[in-house]
Amino acid sequence: MHVLITGGAGFVGSHLAETLLQRGQNVTIIDDLSTGRMENIAHIRQFPHFRFAIETIMNEAVMDRLVSECDMIYHLASAVGVELIVNRPVEVIERCILGSEVVLKIANRYKKKVLITSTSEVYGKSSKVPFSEDDDRILGPTTKSRWSYSCSKAIDEFLALAYHKEKQLPVVLVRLFNTVGPRQTGQYGMVVPRFVQAAMSNQPIRVYGDGTQSRCFGYVGDVVNAITALMNHPEAVGQIFNIGSNEEVSIMELAKRVKAITGSKSEIVKIPYEQAYEQGFEDMARRVPDLTKIKKLIGYTPKVKLDDIIARVRDYFAEQRQNSKFSSSNGYGEVFTPEPAPAAVV
């Protein structure tokens, strides 16, 4: 089996690539390193059946070659993080919609099965919790760039399902809910690594808003196992599935848990949304997945609990710090400095 992973040098993509290589599959990844990092894949480059193309998925000539050579495609390339969504909306919209258009068009050319990673953001401001795959979407106005990511990923879903309906392209769609674990950084506002890095440096743990907003954090290993199980299940084709954890926690409680687990002396401070992001920023009050559908099909139940996730993230950053791979502080705790990207296919 030869697998192509777009965005394979990213946080989730690198874990997926590692898992598939360990299962004996041939893996090719394509990543332009705009948010992916060479450090994420350094440990898997010794696998004999691994290839890495440093290129954008917008390059149709490269994508045509890679898709023609693979058996299936995991499409993970996308914009990540609320800070990126707010500060660079053009990049977010174009990368989501135009990138998925290229992937689906070329996949259809060769009739290769595709798994599209979407997001819990598509549910918008809906107050119906937990979120089920067929629920209505409630969004804010187009004047608030916060909702551009939600709409862009929804277009990805519409397009993928249209290819399936009209052209019989085998597609599987998954909506990821706050996936966390080792290799994720706080560079684009991801809350768990941001909190852990700050706590480990005894710097203020910055809670945006009033801290009552709640989330569910799924461990990346659980998520990757679910993704691969769905990709290999024939009844998943043409369907959408939530993936994540249903262990709900407020962001303020998350900050307190991080402080306790890291043994930190950090102060927990509240930062208004307007200061953290932009004037008039809107957030989702709760984000809890209904996991009934995926459990029924593949028996999925998240195994790693939140406190264990925090501890694993802490241990990862401790190891990286010991290996002197951190740059200086940026105000949120220390962050990685990505290696320069060589301009080649490795």
Contacts of 51 (CB under 8 A, 6+ apart): 27, 28, 29, 345, 346
- Domain with 154, as residue range(s), is 78-180+218-246+288-302
Place of tokens 């898992």: 19
The letter for the amino acid at 262 is T
Kindly list the distances between the CA atom of residue 222 and the CA atoms of 228, 230, 291, in Å, as whole numbers in the listed order. 10, 12, 13
The tens digit of pLDDT for each residue in 30-56 reads 999 988 999 999 999 999 999 999 999
pLDDT of residue 187: 77
Residue 128 is assigned to a structural domain of this protein: yes
| Rounded-to-integer distance, Cα 325 and Cα 241, Å | 36
Residue 253 lies in a domain: no
Comparing C-alpha atoms, which of 344, 329, 325, 331 is closest to residue 43? 325
- pLDDT under 50: residue ranges of the chain: 325-346
Q: Give the pLDDT score at 344.
A: 37
Cα atoms found within 13 Å of the Cα of residue 325, Cβ hemisphere only:
16
Element of type H or E holding 282: none
Q: In the prediction, which pLDDT does 48 show?
A: 92
- Annotated catalytic residues are 149
Q: Considering the entire predicted model, what is its pTM?
A: 0.91
Please tell me the predicted confidence (pLDDT) of residue 346: 37
- Is residue 82 included in any domain, yes or no? yes
pLDDT of amino acid 146? 83
Question: For residue 314, is it within any domain?
Answer: no
Q: How many domains does the chain have?
A: 1
What's the pLDDT at 324? 59
Please give the pLDDT value at position 184: 94
The answer to whether position 280 is within a domain reads: no
Pairwise CA distance, residues 151 & 240, whole Å:
16
Residue 157 lies in a domain: yes
Amino acid at site 98: L
| Torsion sign (Cα): 174, 302, 12, 107 | negative
CA atoms within 13 A of residue 147's CA, in its CB half-sphere: 15
- Asked if 3 contacts 15 with a C-beta cutoff of 8 angstroms, the reply is no
Q: Is residue 115 part of a domain?
A: yes
Residue 325 lies in a domain: no
Token look-up 């009934």 returns 292
Which CATH number covers residue 119? 3.40.50.720
Dist CA 30 CA 106 (whole Å): 15
